[in-house]
Chain A
Amino acid sequence: MTGLLAHDALLVSFVVIFFGLIAVPVAVRTGRRDWMMLAYSAVYTNFLLVTVAVGSMLYALVTHDFSVSYVAQVGSRATPLFYTVISLWGALEGSILFWAWVLGIYAAASVWVNRRREGNLIPYAVVVLLLISLFFAILLVGPADPFKAVFPVLPDGPGPNPLLQNHILMAVHPPLLYLGYVGYSVPFAFAIGGVLSRDIERDDWIRLARRWTLIAWAFHSAAIIAGMWWSYEVLGWGGYWAWDPVENASFMPWLVATAFLHSVIVQERRGMLRLWNLNLIVGTFVLTILGTFLTRSGIISSVHAFTTGTIGYYFLAFIAVVLFGSLMVVAGNSDRLRTTGRYDAVASRETVFLLNNLFLTAFMFTVLIGTLFPLAAEAARGVKVSVGVPFFNRMTLPMIVSLLFLMGVGPALPWKSSTRAEIKDKLLVPAIGAFVLLVVALAAGMRSVYGSLAFAFVGYAAMANLREYWIGMRARRAAHGEGWGTALVRLINGNRRRYGGYVAHLGIFLVALGIAGSQSFRTEREATLKPGETMILDGRTIKLKELWGRQEPQRAVIGATFDITINGKSRGTAEPRMNFYPTSQTPIPTPDVKSSILGDLYFNLQSIREDGSAATIKVIHEPLVPWIWFGGLVVVCGALIAMFPGGRVRETLTADLPR
């Protein structure tokens, strides 16, 4: 029953989408507002229909309706309710349904917020959003139909992929990633809408696109960090990033979107980079679809690739259509996307933004080439290859440390040109920060060049960014006699975009320190212990207390309990486990991570002797890892500050002009 209802809802959504696609041109031609409103309601109605489909799926999952193909694939009566609900995105068909739903939310919200806006930008954006929705509607009745009828109906199912029901972060990472990935559809639609509506000279689209990009970017940043965290907490290897194709797929659009968030400022301020920004937005969107193709088509084997089917061809066709269509639109209007501003001096903030964009796009292309090369090699020469981690590290580490350095230079340099003395003061003082962190790193035993550079440049950039706050607060105190707290709040409120950006920078610095620290200072030991035996790692004594096992409804668990002591003082216990799911041939590692502000002690149970008399354990000491997760949170906070509208933008606009 639920399957039929959902099927009908999806079929009706086709009609609604086509109606909307007809209503927009009519409305634009005749200039009739009532037709416009009808076109907009097509977006809202489509959202409601997909919501019905998602609701039906959730109902079918929770009631264990194994006559629905998706439930028969991922459901099981033994799975706890929580994991049953989140298995909505635990396999291909459900994830496409969830994607379509998130797209529905974004489309409806972005149109609703702007429904009263004059001009043809929004109507054309509606066309783009409806076309993207159409693509996902086609997937949902075609190659990714989650509502196929199953006969005969089995009494129980296998349950979700064990890896995807082993950790709470599975409830966090995927929705965040969809909210990020799908969110880029909105700025893409606004950009194309802006060009098609011939409003492009007014730079109207850029303000709309910026806000929606920022929303998506905040989710996307959080999703990448959550994905790293998941990999760290679940896979048992003690790492969080391996330049794996699926990680790269999530990272590439982030790089381009980050470039856009910076270069958009140059367009707003100086009227430059119009065409470039349009391309960045199109690029971000295309990379999200490419990423979905890479992860979902089964072309790359991973936990994200579910079953191989025909869906890859649909994505390839869609990428081709989007690329071709966008290029036609952009190229056909490039004469109206000329730069109006002038590039004045090398030592200006514009230069830093240009370099930032240069490095970020080069970064993206490096990752893109490294990710696609194996596919190209196999297609062209039939050889199976992979691109090793050293390639990515060697190519990207110089770019990463350069970007960190630029994050210190950028906020310090004024727009246009400036005097020598001004530059000298702004650029030299933060060198103290660089010196301090470099000394700290070297004293702690840092021996890698890039690790040292990362610490030094983070010190430099962090001091430069914090100094902007300091200068602003001091000026407010002098001018208005405010206390430090009030001055800080009013400073941020006065220009949320700018100071939100600096907060996001601080978050990136924490992430960078976490990565540099954990990569450089990592120590690990592996040993086989019998109960009562101990091992020592970095001055920590680790004693195996006992091995144990228990049966849980959906799985069997084997665990080991360790006592940790430092200098004779007890520092708690760790309980790494192995979870055995009925559907999995191998146990799912379940490491235990003991965190403190300075770092993690990571316990992974490698194997247990068949008679249960001893366990092989890997213990990794990973300094500064928690800083990565915390830094991610700070980045998101920065984005939130920058996202909220309001504030006295006028005043700060003038305040920011060259003095």
Chain B
Amino acid sequence: MATLSPRRRVAAAAAVVMLAVFGWLIYGGLDKNVVFFLTPEELIEKGAKGYDVPVRLGGRVKPGTVKWDDKTLRLTFSVVDTGGVGEIAVVSSGAPPQMFRDGMGVVVEGRYGHDNIFQSTSLMVKHSNEYRPPKAGEKPQQMYKTLMKGAGT
């Protein structure tokens, strides 16, 4: 290594500096933009640290809490842990997915405000991608038939 020419030494130094800058930028970028995936209970446990940071909140829609006003496009509901513990009120603007209903798995992305309301910017319904026939009582077809009658053709 002692035989490096001055030219190569400059190149090596430049490479080290660039790597350091790149690493520092990446670190800074990650530090601010990592979104934690939490359940309602975990978010509540975070206390003050849980407020006003981007979070993905995953859980179930608490039965009986869904309110959707299709005129103001305001959707409110509560998310609870799978076990039923922890509860966080969510406000979301924009229409819920057609099949949005009580008890289903959801992931909402947004921030938990100091008013203890989670402002959601995106709402995803959890459903498995695996192919399986629908179970009894889980028939989208029925839903569609109501729609078809009402809509007329």
List A residues at the B interface (Cβ < 8 Å): 73-74, 91, 158-161, 301-303, 305-307, 358, 362, 365-366, 369-370, 373, 377, 383-388, 390-391, 394-395, 526-528, 546-551, 556, 558, 578, 580, 582-587, 606-614, 616, 618
Stretch in B59-67, B81-89, B112-120, B133-141 touching the partner: B133-141
In contact, B56 and A612 (Cβ under 8 angstroms) = no
The answer on a CB contact under 8 Å between A384 and B144 is no
A sample of 27 inter-chain contacts (CB < 8 A) reads: A158-B131, A159-B131, A160-B131, A302-B129, A306-B129, A373-B30, A373-B34, A384-B36, A385-B34, A386-B34, A390-B32, A528-B73, A546-B152, A547-B152, A548-B152, A550-B153, A556-B144, A558-B144, A580-B143, A584-B127, A584-B140, A607-B95, A607-B98, A607-B100, A608-B151, A614-B70, A616-B73
Q: Which of B94-120 contact A (CB under 8 A)?
A: 94-100
Report the bound CA distance from A370 to B27 in whole Å: 10
B29 interface hit (Cβ, 8 Å): yes
Which chain B residues lie closer than 8 Å to A586 at the CB level?
97-99, 125, 127, 140
Nearest B residue to A157 via CB reads B131
Given known contacts A549-B144, A611-B146, A613-B150, what 14 new A-B pairs fall within 8 Å (CB)?
Answer: A306-B129, A366-B26, A383-B36, A384-B36, A386-B34, A391-B30, A528-B95, A547-B147, A548-B152, A548-B153, A558-B147, A609-B70, A612-B151, A612-B152
Knowing A547-B151, A549-B151, A583-B132 are in contact, say whether A606-B94 is a contact too (CB < 8 A).
yes
* Interface flag for B54 (CB, 8 Å): yes
Contact (Cβ within 8 A) A365 B131: no
Q: Which among B32, B94, B141, B148 has the highest number of chain A CB atoms within 10 Å?
A: B148
A549 touches B26 (CB 8 A): no
Whether the pair B127, A585 counts as a contact (CB closer than 8 A) is yes
Let me know if B17 is at the binding interface, CB within 8 A. Answer: no
Q: Is the interface of A mostly helix, strand, loop or mixed?
A: mixed
A605's nearest neighbour on chain B, judged by CB, is B98
Report chain B residues within 8 Å CB of A369: 26, 30
Question: Could you say which of A358, A394, A611 contacts B29, with CB atoms under 8 Å apart?
Answer: A394
Interface size counted on chain B using CB atoms at 8 A? 47
Identity of the chain B residue whose Cβ is nearest the Cβ of A386 in the assembled complex: B35
Classify the interface of chain B: helix, strand, loop or mixed: mixed
B133 engages A610 (CB within 8 Å): no
In whole angstroms, what is the CA distance A388 to B121 when docked?
13
* A616 neighbours in B (Cβ, 8 Å): 70, 73, 95
Partner of A390, one of B33, B129, B145: B33
Residue from B26, B129, B144 within 8 A of A303 (CB atoms): B129
Smallest Cβ distance from A291 to chain B, in angstroms? Answer: 19
**Is the Cβ of B33 less than 8 Å from the Cβ of A388?**
yes
A302–B127 Cα gap in the complex (Å)? 11
**Closest chain B residue to A609 by CB distance?**
B70
Tell me which of A391, A549, A618 contacts B148 (CB under 8 A): A549
A301 to B100 Cα, complex, angstroms: 20
State whether B73 touches A587 (Cβ < 8 A): no
Q: Is the CB–CB distance between B153 and A583 below 8 Å? A: no
How many Å lie between the Cα of A369 and that of B33 in the bound state?
A: 13
CA distance A250 to B108 in the complex (A): 26
Q: Which residues of B contact A390 (CB under 8 A)?
A: 32-33
CB atoms of B146 and A74 under 8 A apart = no
Tell me if A585 and B98 are in contact (CB < 8 A).
no
Contact assessment for A74 and B148 in the assembled complex, using a CB-CB cutoff below 8 Å: no
B131 and A583: CB pair below 8 A? Answer: yes
List the 3 closest pairs (A to B, CB-CB), nearest first: A612-B150, A549-B148, A606-B95
Contact A301-B147, Cβ < 8 Å, known A385-B37, A580-B141, A607-B97: no
Our pick among A74, A159, A526, A585 for the contact of B99 (Cβ within 8 Å) is A585
B71 within 8 A of A: yes
- Which B residues are in CB contact (< 8 Å) with A394? 29, 33
Given known contacts A383-B36, A384-B36, A385-B35, A549 and B95 CB-to-CB distance under 8 angstroms: no
Question: B13 → chain A, closest Cβ, in Å?
Answer: 15
Q: Contacts A528-B73, A608-B147 known; A580 to B130 CB distance under 8 Å? A: no
Which one, B56, B73, B96, B150, contacts A527 given CB within 8 A?
Answer: B73
Smallest CB separation, B27 vs chain A (Å): 10
Q: Which residues of A contact B138 (CB under 8 A)?
A: 585
Q: How far is the CA of A585 from the CA of B56 in the complex (A)?
A: 23
